[in-house]
Structure 1
Amino acid sequence: MEVKIIKEIYIDKEDVKARIHEWGSSENPTIICIHGLGSTSLSFIELAHLLKNQYHILSIDLPGHGKTPEFFKVEDYEAPNMIKWVDKVISHLTKGRFYLLAHSWGANIALHYLSKYPSKVINTMLLDGGYYLKTEWYSYQTSISGEIDSLQSEIDYYIKDFDEYCFDTLQEHIEVEKNNYIRWSCLLEEAARDLVRVEDDKYKWHANSFTATGAIKSMYYYPPDSIYDKLPSSIYLLQSTLPESMNKYRETLAEKFKNSTGSKVKRIDGASHLLHWDKPNEVVKEILNWFK
């Protein structure tokens, strides 16, 4: 009998509803994965396939992403409520301690979670997130005459980017996704298919600007550096290096993160922000060393 490599789990309780993807045996150490803004639980698909024999991997669709319903109020996306929601989901999935793997916005959530529930987490790995600060980003954008130089301009960007995303066919969407990344694979294509929903016979982005607004406001009003002094040192940040024009900006923030938290930091050469798609084997190597 063939064992299914990936399993889809749905939690449908009165206080929490979520979709989760699961790989590996529950007898192995558990890794909880938290994706970034605009992504889904399947963004970790390649890492999970490479790690499924050594770990039990549970990847969560955040509210308003993938197949998890959005919150009713923008304010519900704020960090204090979000980490309560995440903890409810995790409590349904495992009772033991676990490793935490998070990307981008998910890394911000992971740090807030870690500051609140440090005893539940063994070690944490951040994939190019948790060290970016919105105020610094807007200052950097201003310095290069960029378009996203304020909270409102970033919200406006996502209103257009998410809500106007629309294609007649799934293949058109796949081709756009292919062109966004350094490399491609069958597994990444499976993850890309998860990024759209069908509405009125059109393929639209799975997340909307309401959710994006909540996430961006949370990152702005609850910046990770506000909790640096409350974090354990069991954190490892993998940092992107592309585009190279951003490296000085990244280095400044990564150094602040490292000095303030005592965390380990490593740059992944030739990797953009979605570094686990660009360099999955390198990321897996670091995971195997850190999550042991």
Structure 2
Amino acid sequence: MKQYFLNNKNTKVRVCEWGRKENPTIICLHGLGSTNLSFLELGELLKDKYYIISIDLPGHGRTPAFENDEDYGIPNLIKWISEVIQLVEKNSFYILAHSWGGCIALYYAAQYPEKVKKILLLDGGYHIKQIQYDYFINIDKNQLDFKPNCSLEEEIKSYIADFDGYVFTNWNDFLEVERNNYLRWSKLLEQAAKDLMKEEEDGTIRFCASGDTARGAIKSMYNFPTDGIYPKVETPILLMQATIPASWNEIRTLLVEEFQKRTNSLVKRVEATHLMHWDNPFQIAEEIIEWMK
């Protein structure tokens, strides 16, 4: 594994890579709140077969945030990601994208179809904010094991509280909480989890992505829903759909059926949470090898 910074118009962008450049290239786009090391275990599993490039998106990891919410909007975000990709890969490539990264991947592929061979989405690209809000407004919330967001304002408020409130006095306390957040744990996951955080001068451990960044990204997903470009994406797509928790399955299935119908994509359901590449990296790696050949 190699980590380094690119200079994109005087802005430093942190990139992580695995494998040899002569192998087929996979560009990895992480989800909201994550970093390029979200793909650490997959990178280690696939480095002998692929050249894997994972990018810290704006406001994540060690890449500086955009100044304004509007900059996270799709027009500027796709311009930014295309400039970064041009610095690392001139030829066509595969895209592996999780969650919010899936939205970015679809918009990029619609705009630059000649660049993208295939896309593999890890439970991303199909979540349409307004449809989710309407769904949760109209169901019996007593049957849920979580408090749903029923409006853009609610979701932004929730994310700001989560991101800005994820603070610890030391690394041990942070890691103890993180171990209990996932279905499994490993040394590589510990490394990836620690990359989510930064240590302040007073020793406080704080989430790298801020509430401001979350607000910009969520507004972007709301204002630029991917269902508006489903017919424009000609790139072959494999969507891996999460099935845990079960309380999300009805709305997931409704959204995925529409996605599959309008993109002509292949869908596989995985016994995993939204963070499926942490839950079962070995199965996901096998799916990548099978799809990206």
Query: What is the TM-score normalised by the length of structure 2?
Result: 0.95
The alpha-carbon deviation at position 173 of structure 1 amounts to 1.1
| Residue 17 of structure 2 corresponds to residue 22 of structure 1 | yes
The alpha-carbon deviation at position 158 of structure 1 amounts to 1.1
Number of equivalences: 286
Q: Deviations over 1:155-185 (max 9, x none)?
A: 1011111111110101111111111110011
Task: Give the one of 79, 103, 110 matched to 1:115.
Answer: 110
Q: Is the 8 A contact 1:12 1:18 kept in 2?
A: yes
* Letter of the structure 1 residue corresponding to residue 150 of structure 2: D
Equivalence for 1:138? 133
- 1:24-173 paired onto structure 2 within 5 Å: 24-142=19-137, 143-145=139-141, 146-173=147-174
Q: Is the 8 A contact 1:16 1:89 kept in 2?
A: no
The alpha-carbon deviation at position 80 of structure 1 amounts to 1.1
Q: Percent identity?
A: 51
The Cα RMSD (Å) is 1.0
* Letter of the structure 2 residue corresponding to residue 274 of structure 1: L
Name the CA shift for 1:15/1:256 in 2 (closer, same or farther; >3 Å): farther
In structure 1, what is the Cα distance between the partners aligned to 2:218 and 2:124? 13
In structure 1, what is the Cα distance between the partners aligned to 2:233 and 2:8? 31
Equivalence for 2:144? none
- SS across alignment from 1:49: helix
The alpha-carbon deviation at position 12 of structure 1 amounts to 2.1
In structure 1, what is the Cα distance between the partners aligned to 2:116 and 2:276? 23
- SS across alignment from 2:114: helix
Query: What is the TM-score normalised by the length of structure 1?
Result: 0.96
Q: Is the 8 A contact 2:19 2:48 kept in 1?
A: yes
Unpaired runs of at least 5, structure 2: 142-146
In structure 2, what is the Cα distance between the partners aligned to 1:30 and 1:108? 20
- SS across alignment from 1:118: coil
The alpha-carbon deviation at position 144 of structure 1 amounts to 4.0
Unpaired runs of at least 5, structure 1: 1-5
